Structure 1
Amino acid sequence: MVLSNSKPSNIQLSFTTADLIYAYVLSRMMYVVAKLGIADLLKDGSQHCDALASATNTHSDSLYRVLRALAGFGIFAETQPRCFELTPQADCLQSNVPGSIRNEAILRGEEYYYKPWENLMYSVQTGESAFEHLYGVDLYQYYEQNAVAGELFHKYTSHTSQEAYAPYLEAYDFSSIGKLVDIGGGTGNLLTAILEANPTMTGVLFDLPKSIDRVKNLGEPVSVHNRCQLIEGSFFEGVPQGGDAYLLREILHLWDDERAINILKHCHQAMKEQGRLLVLECIMPSGNEYSGVKVEDVHMLVVCSGGRERTETEFKELFKSGGFKLTKIIPIKNSRFSLFEGVKP
């Protein structure tokens, strides 16, 4: 959920089933204030709605009504008539702060991203992606073809600070890996963090041409420049050869079993004989309790062709079909992710 990374709030909220029908209203309001940058304007203290409206070129009374409604959820607080300040729940809507979700709130609120959810019924009736039904291409092809959407997605995926990857480094010992290949690694933030923590390791960042071009334009961090190779290509056609370990972070959940197994087989064929497969994904929990993974699973249904979250058993079967024996499942502290280790049997 959007608020999952925010600081704890002492405001206790309870919702009826009828209240939850209006959940989309909260999401839309959060999109508006994130897009306008309201939290950034309040970082130095309380401001009157007139000042906020002037800074954002909006209608003061209408903006006030939105902020007043959000304050009922603990997102902002009205300190004096028509004056608002940040709350712990609103801090994460700022830009460039630890745990910021501003880019996510904007991304998920853009029309091209939420509109497929209006067609959830299509996905339920057909089992097919509502996104592809609407736009005729999959999500990543859409980003390739639409520069503004692609740049917004890039901002969302690249905002994570290097410090945020500390739990990954604590959970798994990467030190014995000589060459690590990050498959579909995007901006390479995680790979960079691993390389910085392991100065004798070399790395390969492998992704689609536009993603690699973007990394080249940004420039690799000086700390890993001489140890990281950038290679462009598609993991459906093959992956770079000769790695000691292959890393897949949030890749498999984007695809159905057939295509996920295809990716794993390419890794199996490319890696050294004693190579390892490292997969970072969420495990679908059992039972009736709330889990963001269950909601994300429906999101995969809507926006990705065949995408899904998987249970531990389903991961074991996936690894086996891809030629791997699943040897370890390690929960990542303070994260919804687990690290799966696989080896050639």
Structure 2
Amino acid sequence: MTAQERTPAAPQGTAGWFDIGLPPQKQVLGFLYAKWAIGALRGLVEVRAFDALADGPRTVAEIAAATGAQEDPLYRVLRAVAAAGVLAEREDGRFELTERSAGLVDGAQDGIRDMFLFTSDPMLWRPYENVAHALRTGEPAFKAAFDTTFYEYTKANPASGAVFDRAMQQNSYPGTDAVFEGFDFGRFRRIADVGGGRGHFLVDLLRNNPGTTGVLADQEHTVAEAKPLFEEAGLLDRVEIVPTDFFTAVPSGCDAYFIKHTLHNWDNDKAELILRRIREAIGEDRDARLLIVENLLRGAGQWDIGKLIDVESLSVLGGRERSLAEWDRIAGAAGFALANEPVAGDIALLEYRPVTP
């Protein structure tokens, strides 16, 4: 029997992470490969090696000249990233982009360069050095590493805050697009995007639903930069931009309250408080709806990338990803009942109707 035949099948979605050439009790060492690959990739992104390849294949000497890197270490890191399948190393010694690396070029269409730099930044990396702190105390490991919270840190460190903001503009995921394709936002006359950042999603929503108006509700320093985006899109007359602390109050008078990739940043008590504020804004309008877009976790033992994202929520923010039962619990406590049948295992849109708690 081969090593693969002797090894019990791994849960769906995880098999590629284990080195089946090792004895079963050592196969988890395969996770180390991810650290090595991430470090190599980040180095190349930081020196803009992918930018140097944007116009076609280049030799190591040409890439070194364009990036200011030393040829020998540059070659070794390029070679490793090519072996990992991100770049192509040609027989003539030149390297070139692949479909996997094209998005790491600065300014690439649908690019992820800033998202990659953010998620591999020391401010998100260091908390993983001490996840045990979160296990022992329930406190985010970020707090132990930086002696402050994540959001306080990004406010106090403008460079870190800037990479965070740029990354959030690239934070697009096919699963999110899929849930929007099948949902009729046009049935709502007025939609509030709660925690909507500078308004990129709301711009797309209003473009696609000409009979709908919107309210952009986020922190004052965030929405302060939103007006030019709506002006450029010709939508300023259809949006109200409202500085909002969603722990205190949310603008009233909307038919739907949309909140995307935000509630998972908070623990259950704070997430419930945000939903209570939305419920207060809805008041007696039983036809209004709460629309939540978040990961919806699968059941016990099932592969789900959201369960790994949950460790980041725990370690960095003190937030959490949730199953449908967990969402129903906090939404129910805030005065909502589920009104659709979301599918677990990816990004889901959960629709809730207001009820009396």
TM over 0.5: yes
| 2:186 match: secondary structure | coil
Consecutive unaligned residues in structure 1, runs of 5 or more: 1-11
Which stretch has the larger CA shift, 317-326 or 24-33?
24-33
Question: Compared with structure 1, are the counterparts of its residues 85 and 289 closer, same or farther at alpha carbon in structure 2 (3 Å cutoff)?
Answer: farther
1:340 equivalenced with 2:350 (yes/no):
yes
- CA offsets per residue over residues 178-218 of structure 1, 9 Å max, x none? 11111111121111111111112111111111111222465
Q: SS at 1:246's partner residue? A: strand
Please tell me whether the aligned partners of residues 53 and 63 of structure 1 are also in contact (alpha carbons under 8 angstroms).
yes
Q: Is the 8 A contact 2:42 2:117 kept in 1?
A: yes
1:68 to 57, 79, 95: 79
Structure 1: distance between partners of 2:87 and 2:103: 11
Q: In 2, are the aligned partners of 1:160 and 1:189 still within 8 Å (CA)?
A: no
Question: Could you say which residue in structure 1 is the equivalent of 2:316?
Answer: 303
- Given that 2:115 and 2:170 are in contact with CA atoms closer than 8 Å, whether structure 1 keeps it comes out as no
Equivalent residues of 1:182, 1:248 under 8 A apart: yes
* Residue in structure 2 matching 1:327, options 297, 314, 339: 339
Q: Output one character per residue of 1:296-336: Cα deviation in whole Å (capped at 9) or x when no partner.
A: 0001111012x01111111111110110011114459xx93
CA RMSD of aligned residues (A): 2.4
Question: What amino acid does structure 2 have at the position aligned with 1:316?
Answer: D
Distance 1:96 1:168, change over 3 A: farther
Q: What is the CA-CA distance between 1:162 and the residue it aligns to?
A: 12
Q: Please report the TM-score for the alignment, with normalisation by the length of structure 2.
A: 0.86
Which position in structure 2 is the counterpart of 1:253? 264
Equivalent residue letter for 1:107 = F
Point out the more displaced range, 150-159 or 166-175: 166-175
Report matched runs for 1:124-273 at 5 Å.
Answer: 124-159=135-170, 167-216=178-227, 220-271=231-282, 273=285
1:273-312 to 2 correspondences below 5 Å: 273=285, 274-305=287-318, 307-312=319-324
Unaligned runs of at least 5 residues, structure 2: 1-15, 20-26
Tell me the alpha carbon deviations over residues 236-258 of structure 1, each in whole angstroms, 9 at most, x when there is no partner: 11111111110110111111111
Q: TM-score, normalised by structure 1?
A: 0.89
Moved more, 105-114 or 133-142: 133-142
Contact 2:227/2:236 (8 A) holds in 1: no
**1:259 offset after TM fit, Å?**
0.7
Deviation at 1:36, TM superposition (A): 2.4
CA distance in 2, matches of 1:160, 1:124: 28
State the shift of 1:163 in Å. 10
Moved over 6 A (4+): 161-165
Distance change in 2, residues 1:294/1:169 (3 Å): closer
Q: Provide the aligned length of Structure 1 versus Structure 2.
A: 331
Per-residue deviation at 1:138? 2.1
Aligned 8 A contact 1:123 1:301 in 2: yes
Letter in 2 for 1:303: V
Q: Secondary structure at the match of 2:104?
A: coil
